[in-house]
Structure 1
Amino acid sequence: MVFTLLLASVALVLVAAALALWSGASAREQRQVSLQHAEQRLARGGPGGALPEPGTAPTGRARARGERPWDALLRRAALPTGWRVPLLVVGMSLLATWIATARLGTWWMVPIMLVLCTLVVWFWLSRRIANLQRRLLRQLPDFLDNLVRLAGLGNSLQMAFQTATAQVPMPLRGLLDTTLSHTRSGLDLDRALAQASQPYRLEPLNVLAVVLGVSVRIGGRADQILQRMADFMRDLDQAQQELMATTSETRMSAWVLGLLPPICAVLMAIASPDFFQPVIHEPLGHKLLLGALVLEAAGGFLLYRLAKSI
């Protein structure tokens, strides 16, 4: 029965990872298709200055040399890249797992603690990513207004971009500085922006890269488009704030209801191991524990769908 519990715990980890990948795959695919469609239309309509084919430099999908697989996730969460943060998270998770296993004296606490640590880290990273994206989107309209003002004074788009970058605070300043460093290495402005903004996965930055590419290669009144983008982003941000204020209680309740039962059960088991000994050693306790895991997985999935549907 213990082996069955181990398999059930491993299955919960795999289900959580599959849900994370499934929730972001459709949005990423839709953004990629829309950008490729826009590039193809511009390439067919441009006078000799066609944009590159989809899948080349503007998509920025080629991983930088020496970049680790988790560096993009760490940058998206406003964390330092490298080995320090992953090792710290893994070390704390293993320490908590060892304490729980030593306290209860059974190895089936290992997969359960790993599942809980994975959910806690996922929740922590998702909150940091959402906060960083919100800060970037709130700073972007002011940057676009300054860019439009400098371009209206007669500056070229590249010079206006460089001058406006110097007046932007963090965290948007770091992204724009990375864009300028890419332009100094030989990339066009739109390609540099697309490559620098790829880890953040923000649709307005991808649209801004397309607008800059059209202005540089084809020409036109890019300042009017940028001004409309800034106004639209302000209206969208205000609407999103009102929606978040309305649905924040439901979303937070889903997180609390999903994480509270397993966390409380583990804390109670660590605080009073003798109370949980029948659950660990008796066949009926194994059945109750397996049923609790199945119900928790089903309830977590339903709460996840409820929070995503808002």
Structure 2
Amino acid sequence: MGAGVLLMVLSIVSVLLGLAAWLWSSAHSREQRQASLQHAEQQLARGAGSPVADSGRAAPVAAAAAASNRRTLPWDPLLQRAGLQPGWKLPVLLLVPGLVLSAIAVARLGTAWMFPLTLGLYLIGCWLWLLRRIGKLQAKLLHQLPDFLDNLVRLTALGNSLQAAFQVASTQTAAPLRELLDTTVRYARGGMELDRALSLAAQPYRMDVLKVLAVVIGVSVRIGGRSDQILQRLGDFMRDLEQAQQELAATTSETRMSAWVLGLLPPASAVLMAISSPDFFQPILHHPLGHKILALAVGLELVGAFLLYRLAKSL
């Protein structure tokens, strides 16, 4: 019991030390970004007296200023892809209940092995929740893109340039696509090409259709041609793709859900039963034969989870 509590305290202290180190490093990176932004403003002020220098330096300085204001946390693209607010607050809020639940499991069973097991299952649940949010957000984006392209085609057919039509159409779009388009317009106003701005704004979402749209816009801007026809065909393709994905999800939903339930139900049930009735699990945790049975159960669970994963991925 004493060793388990000691290990739990050391784990919590290590997490707190890691958070303190991260806060210190993020403060240092913020100072560097502020210095870079001040340097960019000074360069812009120096080049403002010459029209040639201003036209030559405005775009790089604006791009450097935009890059200096971007967050650099490693999990920010994942949170943005899930439609959540980037930063460190949400990960900490998600981590604290897992630590509390793991501490309760250690206190109930009196063994330190429950801490990583409970925390690992909790993190897997958080990961599945993020994956579900990412899937829903990508489905919404794919649903909104054809209507945005139809509006873009209509505006270009009226005589507007592609850049002007893109800015007007972005203001007539609802969330969550609106955030992506606003970021693209902000990059474009900073001096970046429209296709490059769209490609940079779409990086956290990892959607191939957005990459294709950026390529089409780049070709239309640099080479010309009937961009309205290309965008119209691209919109029709996105509608067909959305319909195909919905049909595939409806066909394989039962198999995929069964795989998740069969894979996560045994360990989750074991942890909950161990917390609610610790006396029942004492022989498994403290007897040599119980250790062998537990190791066999963990091995069978890993093999079964791998086979179910391969089955779900093959659909």
Q: Please give the TM-score of this superposition, normalised by the length of structure 2.
A: 0.77
1:110 aligns with 2:151: no
Correspondence for 1:309: 314
Shift of residue 118 of structure 1? Answer: 2.2
2:171 equivalent among 160, 166, 171: 166
Shift of residue 66 of structure 1? Answer: 3.8
Measure the CA separation in 2 of the matches of 1:66 and 1:132.
21
Measure the CA separation in 2 of the matches of 1:239 and 1:278.
52
Measure the CA separation in 1 of the matches of 2:172 and 2:73.
31
Question: For the structure 1 residues 66 and 104, does the alpha-carbon distance in structure 2 shift closer, same or farther, using more than 3 Å as the test?
Answer: same
Shift of residue 65 of structure 1? Answer: 4.4
1:286 equivalent among 284, 287, 291: 291
Rg larger in structure:
2
Aligned counterparts, 1:188-227, within 5 A: 188-227=193-232
Correspondence for 1:138: 143
Question: For the structure 1 residues 63 and 304, does the alpha-carbon distance in structure 2 shift closer, same or farther, using more than 3 Å as the test?
Answer: farther
The superposition leaves residues 170-205 of structure 1 with CA deviations (integer Å, 9 ceiling, x where unpaired) of: 000010001001111110100100000000000010
4+ aligned runs moved over 4 Å, structure 1: 62-65
Measure the CA separation in 2 of the matches of 1:71 and 1:120.
19
Correspondence for 1:295: 300
Measure the CA separation in 1 of the matches of 2:259 and 2:69.
38
Measure the CA separation in 1 of the matches of 2:308 and 2:122.
19
Measure the CA separation in 2 of the matches of 1:240 and 1:82.
32
2:253 equivalent among 232, 244, 248: 248
Secondary structure class of the residue paired with 1:216: helix
The superposition leaves residues 34-92 of structure 1 with CA deviations (integer Å, 9 ceiling, x where unpaired) of: xxxxxxxxxxxxxxxxxxxxxxxxxxxx8974421110000001111101111011111
Paired letter, 2:167: Q
Aligned counterparts, 1:1-310, within 5 A: 65-310=70-315
Measure the CA separation in 1 of the matches of 2:171 and 2:71.
29
Measure the CA separation in 2 of the matches of 1:306 and 1:123.
18
Q: How many aligned positions are there?
A: 249
Measure the CA separation in 1 of the matches of 2:76 and 2:127.
16
Secondary structure class of the residue paired with 2:80: helix
Measure the CA separation in 2 of the matches of 1:186 and 1:98.
52
Measure the CA separation in 2 of the matches of 1:220 and 1:270.
67
Paired letter, 2:230: I
Paired letter, 1:237: E
Correspondence for 2:38: none
Structure 1: tracts of 5 or more residues without a match = 1-61
Q: More helix per residue: 1 or 2? A: 2
Measure the CA separation in 1 of the matches of 2:68 and 2:171.
28
Measure the CA separation in 2 of the matches of 1:168 and 1:189.
18
TM-align CA RMSD: 1.2
Measure the CA separation in 2 of the matches of 1:148 and 1:122.
39
Measure the CA separation in 2 of the matches of 1:232 and 1:210.
15
Measure the CA separation in 2 of the matches of 1:123 and 1:267.
19
